[in-house]
Structure 1
Amino acid sequence: MSQHRPAGASGSPGVVPALPDLPEATVARLPEYLRALHHLAESGHDTVSSEGLASAAGVNSAKLRKDLSHLGSYGTRGVGYDVALLVEQIEYVLGLTQRRAVALVGVGNLGHALAGYAGFGTRGFRIAALFDADPGRVGEQINGLTVRHIDELPACAAQESIAIGVIATPARAAQTVADQLVAAGVTSILNFAPCVLSVPEGVDVRKVDLAIELQILSFHEHRKASLTALPDTPGAGIAAIPNRLGGGGLGSSGTQEAVGS
C-alpha cells in the first residue's frame, strides 16, 4: 500500500534510455517479474516466452507484455525475451544497479527478524544500521550490526548515504520515528507499524500491515463459506445481515453505523 506515487525522473544513458513514468500498478509488478527472471536464470534459461514469464510471475501474458512495453522491451517473435537483458532493464528501472543502504528502526520481535533476513542482500539492499530508543536494546548485536540509539540517526544517515528507512516500532512511536527519518534526509519509508504516517511532499511511504492482509483473507474465507450456504430466497443473505447484528436494516439515509461504534 503506497501513500505517495514516486515522481518521474530522468535517467542516465544505459539499458533504458530514459527512466519511464510508469503506472503504479506496473511498478508493483516489476519485482515479481524480476524474481521470476532470476529463478529462470538460475535454472539455466536464456530466453523465456511472455506466457512462461507471466505464469511464473502469477499474471496474465497480455498484462505482462503491456508492462514490459513501458520499458521498451517487446521480445522477439518465436523466441521470447532475453532473460539477462530483461533482468538488466528491470533492475535499472527499479534503481537496483547499486546496493541501497537501509536504516531499520525498532528491533523488537519484528525488527529483529527483519534485521536477520538474508534475502535483502540478494535483492539489491543492505541493512546499513539498526536503531532503537530503548537503552536496553542499544549495543545489542544482530547479524553483525550493533544497535544504535535513535539519536545517532542523523550522523549515521549522512555517513552511510541512507535514503530508505524501515519502521518496525509500535504504532505510538511510528510518527515520531518518521519525523526523525525525514529530518535525517531519508526520503523513502517502509512502515510496518499499524498507522498512517504524515510526511512532507517528496517523501514516499509504503505501508505493510499484516493484520489488514489477514482481514482481507478473512473476507474471502467468509465469502467462500457464504457461497456454499446461500439462502433459497434471492437477496435474503444480505438483507438478513442487519437483523443478525441486532439492527432493523438501513435507515432512511441509506447508511448503517458500524458495529461497535
Structure 2
Amino acid sequence: MSQLERKTAGVPTLKRLPLYLRLLRKMKENGEEYASGTVVAKELGLDPIVVRKDLAITGAVGRPRLGFQMDEIIEAIEEFLGWSNTSEAFLVGVGSLGRALLGYQGFEQHGMRIAAAFDKDPAIIGTKVHGKTILDIEKMPGLAKRMHVQIGILTVTASVAQGVADAMIAGGIRAIWNFTPTNLTVPSHVILQREELASSLAVLSHRLLIEDSLAPKA
C-alpha cells in the first residue's frame, strides 16, 4: 500500500481500526479462523457498511462466504496502522500521568515502546519507575539524536510544555503525543496529537446527565 493511499484514511476510521484489531485478536484466541465484516459489526454495534469500508482500506481481501482469514486481516490492520514494527518513544514528565503511562503494558502491542523517561526534578532523576531509570531532561535531545527516536510523549506541566516540545524537535523527534492542556506551536513536518482529556470528560458527563434526565422517576 502506498503512502498516499495510507493517508486517505480519515480520523474516524483510524480510531475504529484498533477496536477491530482487539476484537479480531480475541476471536483468534478463541480459535476462529475467519471473520466477516458483518460479524465484526455486530459484535461492536457498528454499521456493517462502515466496517466493510474500514477493513477494505487496509488492503485485506476477504473470501466469499468466509470473510477475512484471521491472520491476514490482523496483519493488514497492524501494517496499515504502522504497528507491525515497534517504534521507540521518549516520555518527558514523570508525574502521576507519566508514571501511569510508563506502567502501561499495552503499548508494545500497538507498535510503540517507551525506551526512556526524563524529568528535571533532582528528586526523581536517577530513581526507577516501572523498571526504567529516570534521566535528566538535559540529556534528552542528544540521546534522541543518537537513538533516532521519532516519538515524544509529553506529560509535563503546561508552563514548560512548549519548551520541552522545542527540545524534542531539536533532538529529531517528528511526532509528539501531547497530554498537556497547551496548544503547542511546531514546524509543519512535526506530527502533533493532543489528548483532550477535559473534552472526553465533558462528553462523558453530558451523556450521563442526559441518561439521568431520561431515567424513570422513582
Structure 1 residue runs of 4 or more that deviate by more than 6 Å after TM superposition: none
1:128–1:160 Cα contact (<8 Å) kept: no
Aligned positions of 1:96-135 closer than 5 A: 96-135=83-122
Q: Normalized per residue, which structure has more helix?
A: 2
Give, as a single letter, the amino acid of the residue that structure 1 aligns with 2:172: G
Q: How many residues align?
A: 215
Match of 1:167 in 2: 154
Superposition CA RMSD, Å: 2.0
Q: In 1, Cα distance between the equivalents of 2:84 and 2:27?
A: 20
Match of 1:207 in 2: 194
Q: Deviations over 1:100-154 (max 9, x none)?
A: 1011110011111111111112222211010111121110112221111111112
2:59–2:76 Cα contact (<8 Å) kept: no
Question: Does the alignment pair 1:90 with 2:77?
Answer: yes
Q: In 1, Cα distance between the equivalents of 2:7 and 2:55?
A: 11
Cα deviation for residue 20 of structure 1 reads 5.7
Match of 1:59 in 2: 46
Cα deviation for residue 228 of structure 1 reads 5.7
1:65–1:74 Cα contact (<8 Å) kept: no
Q: Deviations over 1:149-206 (max 9, x none)?
A: 1111122212332111111112112111111111111111111112221111021122
Match of 1:223 in 2: 210
Cα deviation for residue 210 of structure 1 reads 2.3
The percent identity for this pair of structures is 36
Q: In 2, Cα distance between the equivalents of 1:216 and 1:161?
A: 38
Question: Does the alignment pair 1:78 with 2:71?
Answer: no
Task: Tell me the TM-score normalised to structure 1 length.
Answer: 0.76
Structure 2: runs of 5+ lacking an equivalent: none
Q: Deviations over 1:205-245 (max 9, x none)?
A: 2222323211111222233344569xxxxxxxxxxxxxxxx
Question: Could you tell which deviates more after superposition, 188-197 or 51-60?
Answer: 51-60
Q: 1:53 to 1:202 in 2, by over 3 A?
A: same
Find 1:136's aligned residue among 123, 139, 149: 123
Question: Does the alignment pair 1:181 with 2:168?
Answer: yes
Q: 1:112 to 1:58 in 2, by over 3 A?
A: farther
